[in-house]
Structure 1
Amino acid sequence: MAVEVETRPHQLIASDRVEGTAVRRANGDMIGHIERLMIDKISGKVSYAVLSFGGFLGIGTNLIPLPWGRLHYNPTFEAYELDIEDEELKRAPSFRADKDFDWGDRSQEVELHRFYGVPPYWGGF
């Protein structure tokens, strides 16, 4: 006999469910999708999400690390909402999907948080 599991909304989500989730503006316009989350191994806190946008079939795709605190889940769109103008998005720290990026460089994380005006999860700038 199968046990029926009640499904109801809650605050937690598995990381594999976040990957691929759309990122939209408040008006619903699509910006890109979450490529991956970067989680501090020691504290367990999400440092940032990596936004994937642009390109075609993976060619020319840009990746933008976004401080996790800059994203807000919008249940209406079933997407993460990002309040960002095109000009800010163009100036944002980014890298090409086909290039290496040092994910553990704390100085890059500091600059990333400064750019977005969001305090880092570890506190201060």
Structure 2
Amino acid sequence: MTTQTGHTQAIAASRVIGTTVYNTAGDSIGSIEDVMLDKTSNGIMFAVIGFGGFLGMGEKYHAIPWASLDYDQDKGGYVVPFSKEQLKAAPAYSIDELTGEDGERARDASYEYYNVKPYWH
């Protein structure tokens, strides 16, 4: 089964974690810190992208719908179709908030904010 952006090949989550993420302008915006899975629907809820911070202090975490990430072989990382301004204004969470309420609050807010069709509908 393919994702909304056409991903068709399997990849281990351990290989995805730490991969750089770029915005539409080609700027590095952070890296994938984790991948949240929906245990009941077998879907990927979202990628957890770390933005900013220094030595783990002040870092913000964003839930980005997995279907929004496209792997760019030339960059060796993922590209999201969002501007720097969109990403800066996006909902941000602590790691605990991302998993609270089974991740649904962060998931729902993310899909709504980025206007991505929910995989669970």
Band of TM-score, shorter chain = 0.7 to 0.9
Counterpart of 1:112 (choices 88, 110, 117) is: 110
What are the ranges of 5 or more consecutive residues in structure 2 without an aligned counterpart?
1-7
Deviation readout 1:63-121 (Å, 9 max, x if unpaired): 00011111111111110101222221121011245xx3116143442222111000111
Query: Size of the alignment, in residue pairs?
Result: 112
Structure index of larger Rg:
1
Of all paired residues, the percent bearing the same amino acid is: 38
What are the ranges of 5 or more consecutive residues in structure 1 without an aligned counterpart?
1-9
* 1:52 and 1:63 in contact (8 A); partners too: yes
Aligned to 1:76: 74
Q: Which has the higher contact order (CA 8 A, sep 6+)?
A: 2
TM-score, length basis structure 2: 0.82
Aligned to 1:17: 15
More helix by share: 2
| Cα RMSD after superposing both structures | 1.8
**Are residues 78 and 59 of structure 1, via their aligned partners in 2, closer, same or farther at CA, if it must alter by over 3 Å?**
same
